[in-house]
Amino acid sequence: MLERVLMTVLILASLGAFALRARDLVGYLQLGKDDDRLPQHWGQKIKEQLVVVFGQRKLLQWTIPGVMHFFIFWGFVILFTTIVEAFGAVYQEGFHIPLIGQWGPLGALQDFFVVAVLAGIAVALAIRKIQRPGRFRGSHLKEADYILYAITGIMLTILLTRAAEISLGHFPYDTEWTPVSASFAALFDDLSVATRDALDTIFLWWHSLIILGFLVYITYSKHLHIITAGVNVLFTSERPKGALKPMYIDIESMSEDDTFGAAKLTDLTWKQLLDGMTCTECGRCQSQCPAWNTGKPLSPKLLIMDIRDAMFEHGPVLLEAKRKGEDAFKEAVENLPDLNPTVVEDEVIWDCTSCGACVQACPVNIEHIDTIMDMRRNLVMGESRFPKEMQSALQSMETTGNPWGQPPQARIEWMKGTSKQEPLEIPHISEAPDAEVLFWVGCAGAYDDRNKKVVYDFAKLMQIAGVKFATLGPDENCNGDPARRMGAEYIYQMLAEQNIELLKENKVKKIVTICPHCFNTMFNEYPQFGGTFEVIHHTEYLAQLVKEGRLNPAGAMDKKVTYHDPCYLSRHNDVWEGAREVIEAIPGTEYGELHRHGHNTFCCGAGGARMWMEENMGKRVNNDRTDEALASASDTLAVGCPFCNIMLSDGVNERKAEDKMQVRDVAQLLLQSIEFAPSDEPSSNGNGSNGHDSNGNGQDYPATEEQEEISGSAKGPGDPGTT
C-alpha cells in the first residue's frame, strides 16, 4: 500500500513539474510575434509527418547516424507500452495492457527494440566519443551524454524487470516471443523466490524513477525536441522553398511601434522561437554550411542555439512582466538586449549565402534563413547598419534599377554581340504580340561582360530553334533578389511591383531566364505581390528544344564535363535535369558529377546578396567549390547561373588553372556543338547547317570567337565586391 502511495506522489510531482515547465515554455512562445501557420494543405502535412517524423527520412540521409536515430525514435514509440506496463505493475501484480498486453508479437517487438535501442546508443556513443565529428562543435555534449546514459538505464531496467517477471511467472507474454528477456531470466534461476521478488521491485522502481526524472529533465534540455519536433514539422512553412517570408511595407500606415524585421527577441515569431526549442544540436546544418566550412563565424546551429539560450534567459523576466501588465511588459522589452550584436554578432548575419543547405539538412525542419533575413531586415531598414560595400548596389537598385548602376539603355548592348558577331534583332515584347516566350535577361546577363556572351548565345540558340521570343529591352529592372536578400525589403517591393505591372501590361504568360535568382524570385516570390507567371530556366528550356528536335547538337566535343548546380535552382527549386540532359546530348562529352551535386550542391558564394559583399574571413567560398571542381577528372565546368559563372571563373583564374579547366554556361556548350556540327547535319529545325566545318571525328573544337574573348569579366560602376 505504502509503495502505491509513494509512487502516486512521485508521479503527480513529476507530472506537476512537467506541466509547470510546459506552461512556461508555451508562455515563451507567446512572447513571439504572430505567424499565420495554420496548415492549408492537410494532405501534405500528413505526408510530412509520416515521412519526416515517423519515417525519419531527413535523418536517414546520413546512413549510420540515421539508422541509429531511427531505432531510438521507434524504440521510444514501441517501448512506451513497457512504461505503461511498469507503472501498472506497481499497482497490480501481473498487470497487462488491455487487449494487446498479452499479444506475443507486441512482446517480440518490445524485445527487439530494447536491443535495437541499446545498439543505437552504442553507435551514438562511438560517434560522439571516438569519431567526434566537427558538427558537434559548440553543442552541449555533456547533456547529450546524460540523456544517452539515462536511455541506457531505461533499456537495462526494462530487460531486468521483464527477466524478473518471467522468473516469477508474472510476465504477460509467452516467452517464446521474447527470447532476449527469457535469456536474461536465466540469471535468476538460482535465486529464491523472495530474492527474485525483491529484485523485481528494485528494478521496477529504478526504471520508474529514471522515467519520471527523464520526463522533467527533457523539458530543460535539448531533448525537448522529443516533444516539439512533430509540432515544428507540422507548422513548417508552406511557402515554396525558395521564397522568403513576405513582409508588406506600407510606410503611410506604419506607427512608431512597428519594427522592420527582428531587432529584439520579441520581434521573432512564435515559430522562430519554437525552432530554438526544437533544435537537437545535431550540427547537420553546420556541417553543410558554406560559411562555416570556409572558416566564417556563421554556424546555423549556433545561431539557433544562441536565440534559444536568449529565450530561456530572458523568458522568465518577460513572462513575469507580462503578468504585471502592458506597461511593465513594454519596459521589459525595451530592456532586452538587441538581437544583433548582443545575441548574434552582425558578421554572422552577413555571412549567409541563403543557399538553403542548413534548412535542407535539418531533421526537424528548422527555418534558419527566415530568421537570418529578419535580422538583416532590421539591420538595413531599422538601423542602417550593414557592410559598407553594399551601399552602392543598394543605391543603384533604387536609382537605376540594377545593382551594377548602369543606365537602362545599356541593357540591350549584348544584342550587338562582339566585333566578330552579327548583331541580333530581338523585338521588344510590346512589338511582338505573337511571342511564345519573354526572355528575361537579368542584370548580370545584361551588364556583366562574361554573361553578356552567355545571353547572346542563348538568344542565338532560340533563334536557331525558331522560337518566337522578345525581351523587355531597357524596361527590364532588377528582379529584386539582391535587395531582398540584403534585407532592403522596401527596394525589393518597389522593384517587384514595377516588374509585375510591366509584365502584366505586356500580357506576359511565359518567361525564360538564364538566371536562377530571377527564376526563383519571379516564380516563387512574385505571387506574394500578385504576379503569377510560368517561368522556366534556360537549361530546362534548352533541354526541351533539344528533345523536340528544334536544336541538334551534332558537333562532337571531346570534353570531360562536370556541372555545378546553382543553389537557387537545384536546392531551392528541385531543377537539375535539364542541364545534364543538354550536356549528355552533346556528342563526345564525358559527363561526371561533382561530389556535392543536385540537392547537395555547394554554394558558389554569391547567393544571399553575398555577390555585393566583401569576403575577408577564412577561405573564399568560390575557391572551395573551384578546388572541388579542379580535383575532379573534368576539363570543363558547366554552369547554369550568371553569378556562379562569375564566381567560379574567378576561382579558376585565382587558382591559375585556366589551362586545366574552362568554365562555360550550358548554353555556350550547346551552341558550340551546334556551330561545329558536320556540314551535312541539320543544326536546327529546318535552319540547316550554320556553315562551320567540322572534322567530325570527336576532337575538341577551338573556342568560338566570343568565347576567346572571355578572359575575365569587365567591371563597371557598382561592381560586386567579390569579383
Interface residue list for ligand SF4 (CB under 6 A): 279-285, 288-291, 298, 300-301, 304, 352-358, 361-364, 366, 368-369
Sign of CA dihedral 37, 43, 44, 49: positive
Q: How far apart are CA 242 and CA 232, in angstroms?
A: 19
Q: How far apart are CA 370 and CA 608, in angstroms?
A: 12
* DSSP H helical ranges for 325-408: 326-334, 346-350, 357-361, 368-377, 390-399
- Joined grid coordinates for residue 60: 536517414
Q: How far is the CB of 282 from ligand SF4 (least distance, A)?
A: 4
Q: How far is the CB of 606 from ligand SF4 (least distance, A)?
A: 11
Q: Which is nearer to ligand SF4, 304 or 438 (CB)?
A: 304
Q: How far is the CB of 568 from ligand SF4 (least distance, A)?
A: 11
Q: How far is the CB of 78 from ligand SF4 (least distance, A)?
A: 24
Q: How far apart are CA 280 and CA 234, in angstroms?
A: 17
Q: How far is the CB of 280 from ligand SF4 (least distance, A)?
A: 4
Q: Which is nearer to ligand SF4, 115 or 234 (CB)?
A: 234
Q: Which is nearer to ligand SF4, 288 or 570 (CB)?
A: 288
- Joined grid coordinates for residue 642: 550568371
Q: Which is nearer to ligand SF4, 352 or 465 (CB)?
A: 352
Q: How far is the CB of 228 from ligand SF4 (least distance, A)?
A: 11
Q: How far is the CB of 638 from ligand SF4 (least distance, A)?
A: 23
Q: Which is nearer to ligand SF4, 289 or 472 (CB)?
A: 289
Q: Which residue has the cell 547537395?
A: 600
Nearest Cα neighbor of 351 from 310, 397, 292 is 292
Q: Which is nearer to ligand SF4, 279 or 318 (CB)?
A: 279
Instruction: Return the DSSP state at 50.
Output: I
Long-range contacts from 92-95, C-beta under 8 angstroms, 24+ separation: 93/170, 94/170, 94/172, 95/172
Instruction: Return the DSSP state at 341.
Output: I
Nearest Cα neighbor of 638 from 595, 694, 582, 599 is 582
Q: How far apart are CA 177 and CA 199, in angstroms?
A: 23
Backbone dihedral region of 76: left (phi > 0), alpha (psi from -120 to 50 degrees) or beta? alpha
- Joined grid coordinates for residue 591: 559527363
Calculate the dihedral angle through the C-alpha atoms of 251, 255, 257, 259, rounding to the nearest 10 degrees: -10
Backbone angles phi, psi at 420, to 5 degrees: -100, 5
Per DSSP, which regions of 427-548 are E strands? 437-440, 469-470, 510-513, 534-537
Q: Which is nearer to ligand SF4, 110 or 601 (CB)?
A: 601
Q: How far is the CB of 230 from ligand SF4 (least distance, A)?
A: 14
Edge-first strand listing for the sheet containing 510-513: 469-470, 437-440, 510-513, 534-537
Q: How far is the CB of 603 from ligand SF4 (least distance, A)?
A: 6
Q: Which is nearer to ligand SF4, 133 or 316 (CB)?
A: 133
Q: Which residue has the cell 587558382?
A: 655
Q: How far is the CB of 141 from ligand SF4 (least distance, A)?
A: 13
Q: Is the preceding omega at residue 642 within 30 degrees of 0, hence cis? A: no
Q: Which is nearer to ligand SF4, 353 or 506 (CB)?
A: 353
Q: Which is nearer to ligand SF4, 203 or 386 (CB)?
A: 386
